[in-house]
A and B are shown apart, each in its own frame.
Chain A
Amino acid sequence: MDVTAEIVKTVSEQQHNDIAPASIIEKMVAVIKEVMEQSDEIIAAIVTSSDGLPWAQILPDNFDDKRFSAMSSALLALSMTMAREAGRGGTKNLMIEAENGNIYVLQAGPTLLLTVFTKANKNIGLTLAPTRRASEQIAKIKKEYDAN
């Protein structure tokens, strides 16, 4: 087993919970790991349910997964309501530009969200593109899981 696979396995074992089976968490952690490798500006990421429960994550110790999951769902839900009421249609993602870095909350299929945390970065597109692909992969994993 190579180092990456070992990390993914360890992280996903730690995250096993009643909500999602370990095999799904493992696949999602692998996607998160890949996107973090593609963009060194991404320092943390978490997959959550649309009602704010954590599914899979790679977060620093001082990040509370439950709290950030709930916040991600609240933020995206409110953004969707605002966009819809303003006639802007569906919400693809939410972007928070903060002093020390950005936070992106993306829809990952109908029932999951992907939230990534970045260092202060100059090129949003360079980070957002791989993050968007990751959200699509996560949506696909969930869809396959739902189908079985």
Chain B
Amino acid sequence: MRVGEHKIIFTGSVGAGKTAAISCLSDIPVVGTDVAATDETLNKKDFTTVAMDYGYIQLEDGELIHLYGTPGQERFNFMWEILCQGGVGLVLLVDATSSDPVADCEFYLKAFGKFIEETGAVIGITRADIASNSIYEQVQDVVIEKGYPIAVLEIDARNNEDVNMLVHALMAVL
């Protein structure tokens, strides 16, 4: 990757808001690979990303940030490896309304553990406003236990300011 260019990866469970986050942040229309879902994804939405999402943003200082989103389902974990190549950091989105958001968080932290150790990460908790319980502290505990310097924020993945803040929090620790 050229000087002044960085690649960050968005991951997290199905429906956590990866495609939405990249869409609202990107300067260009997102390159998406949505197809009709036929698995348990249908409980949440009709379409799902099977290869990747791609977009980019130019920061105020001229830095170009490439944004890559992964599929959420574990059967696409070969894409996780492919997309992480050359990446400088990870944005992990955790859906507060999923059946076990803390387990989701731990799962992706483990799956991307090597990449996080080599780079850095930030966690965005989505749908916190409509979840029955706050998971913020539990997610904090998971992060502290892992010993990673990972910021945890509650965000709306459709809100440009929120996602921007998340990306800046990530860039700050890299």
Residue in B32, B41, B50 whose CB lies within 8 Å of A73:
B50
Interface of A (DSSP majority class): helix
Q: How far is the CB of A94 from chain B (nearest CB, A)?
A: 12
A78 touches B76 (CB 8 A): no
B41 touches A78 (CB 8 A): no
Residue in B32, B33, B34, B75 whose CB lies within 8 Å of A67:
B75
Residue B43 at the chain A interface, CB threshold 8 Å: no
Q: How far is the CB of B28 from chain A (nearest CB, A)?
A: 11
User: For chain B residues 66-92, which have a beta carbon within 8 Å of chain A?
Assistant: 71, 73, 75-76, 78-79
Against A, the Cβ 8 Å flags (1 = close, 0 = not) of B29-63 are 00111111111010000001011100000000000
Residue in B31, B38, B39, B51 whose CB lies within 8 Å of A74:
B51
Contacts of A111 in B (CB 8 A): 36, 38
Knowing A52-B76, A69-B75, A70-B76 are in contact, say whether A85-B38 is a contact too (CB < 8 A).
no
Find the B residue at minimum CB distance from A18.
B39
The total of chain B residues at the interface (CB under 8 A) is 20
Residue A71 at the chain B interface, CB threshold 8 Å: yes
Residue A81 at the chain B interface, CB threshold 8 Å: yes
Contacts of B39 in A (CB 8 A): 51, 53
Knowing A51-B50, A81-B31 are in contact, say whether A71-B38 is a contact too (CB < 8 A).
no
A78 touches B75 (CB 8 A): no
User: For chain A residues 80-96, which have a beta carbon within 8 Å of chain B?
Assistant: 80-81, 85
Find the B residue at minimum CB distance from A113.
B35
Q: How far is the CB of A81 from chain B (nearest CB, A)?
A: 6
Residue A5 at the chain B interface, CB threshold 8 Å: no
Residue A75 at the chain B interface, CB threshold 8 Å: yes
B37 touches A74 (CB 8 A): no
Contacts of A49 in B (CB 8 A): 38
Docked CA distance A70–B76 (Å)? 6
Residue A127 at the chain B interface, CB threshold 8 Å: no
Knowing A50-B35, A50-B36, A52-B50 are in contact, say whether A74-B41 is a contact too (CB < 8 A).
no
Knowing A69-B75, A70-B78, A71-B78 are in contact, say whether A78-B51 is a contact too (CB < 8 A).
yes
Contacts of B71 in A (CB 8 A): 74
Contacts of B78 in A (CB 8 A): 67, 70-71, 74
Known: A51-B50, A74-B76. 5 other contacts (CB 8 A): A50-B50, A51-B48, A52-B76, A66-B75, A74-B52
17 interchain pairs, CB-CB under 8 A: A51-B36, A51-B41, A51-B48, A52-B50, A52-B75, A53-B38, A53-B39, A66-B75, A69-B75, A70-B50, A70-B76, A74-B51, A77-B35, A78-B33, A78-B51, A81-B31, A111-B36
